[in-house]
Amino acid sequence: MKTIKGPALFLAQFAGDAAPFNSWDSITKWAADIGYKGVQVPSWDGRFIDLKKAAESKTYCEEFAGKAHENGVEITELSTHLQGQLVAVHPAYDEAFDGFAAPEVRGNPKARQEWAVEQVKLALTASKNLDLNAMASFSGALAWPFVYPWPQRPAGLVETAFDELARRWKPILDHAEDCGVDVCYEIHPGEDLHDGITYEMFLERTGNHARANMLYDPSHYVLQCLDYLENIDIYKDRIKMFHVKDAEFNPTGRQGVYGGFQGWVNRAGRFRSLGDGQVDFGAIFSKMAANDFAGWAVVEWECALKHPEDGAREGAEFVKHHIIRVTEKAFDDFADAGTDDAANRRMLGL
């Protein structure tokens, strides 16, 4: 068994234009000061990282990681959530997702998609230069507008969408193999990979690619009423990254999973700061320890109610208390009678 590393913090929700959230130096100092040992880096945020330079220069990466280490934290992974989203965008979402891209490719879906693929590849190369073995991402989506089968989906529609999604990602996954880095897809609504079955549909089309792995985040499973504990048992060999995020689902006579188009505060399902929701993290951390999960417990703060700085500070303590330092001996070793093959045979009447 392995002891999970942590606590770590995903910085995307905290990046801003005011100190200490506006520079790599200051945000890493802040994270360490409130109790974190690692940080997950949003690779699209130029206030923190120059992604192109990180892909080109090992020296830059050494300086980048060195500054974090000097301030008291390690880099756990890079994230390409926004760029991964743009690898596959249904035309219905073209305008909504355009803001994720560089200004020069906005309004041009083909150029935007090519830019996104290049960005994800740069992040994989940068991960290699940083001696990281995993990268977080989204899959993007072509079939998501058809998630509910009304009107009835024509035969072959979903299959064609997943064939194309795998076609787009296969060269990226091959580059990931060359870099020795796992692509960890966050299984998430709005992505074609939004539950276990859709992940398996994608995985099969990539030839069960060794680098097509999962980012486990139980909050997204609570909100779709999926068994998030059994999910760990099913996919334990593919779960290579862990977002520690809480959620609650409180359906009423007026709304359920779809939320009635309400804002986050008024939805039946909403994200909460750690400890304020319904996720059984004691059971999750136990399964992670038993399954030899070797990665980081990364807090992703999202809450409709609590202030982010309070959520971050409390989250560090929450994870510290839940990480299980695994035992090196059995609890009943005191009663060990030793090994005696002859005695064993006599006890069995042999």
Residue 48 in contact with residue 41, Cβ under 8 Å? yes
Stretch 93-112: mean pLDDT, rounded? 98
Element (H, E) at 296: strand 296-299
Q: What is the spatial distance between Cα 26 and Cα 238, in angstroms, rounded to a whole number?
A: 34
Over 70: is that where the pLDDT of 144 sits? yes
Domain ranges of the chain: 5-347
pLDDT score recorded for residue 54: 98
Mean pLDDT of the chain: 96
Q: Which residues is 299 bridged to in the sheet?
A: 9, 244
CA dihedral (331, 332, 338, 342) positive or negative: negative
pLDDT band at 1 (very low <50, low <70, confident <90, very high): confident
- The backbone torsions φ and ψ at residue 131, rounded to the nearest 5 degrees and listed phi first, read 60, 35
- Backbone torsions φ then ψ of 227, nearest 5 degrees: -75, 100
Per-residue pLDDT tens over the stretch 36-66:
999 999 999 999 999 999 999 999 999 999 9
CATH code, 5-347? 3.20.20.150
Furthest CA-CA distance within the chain: 80
pTM of the model: 0.95
Distance separating alpha carbons of residues 169 and 211, to the nearest angstrom? 11
Strands 5-10 and 296-299: parallel
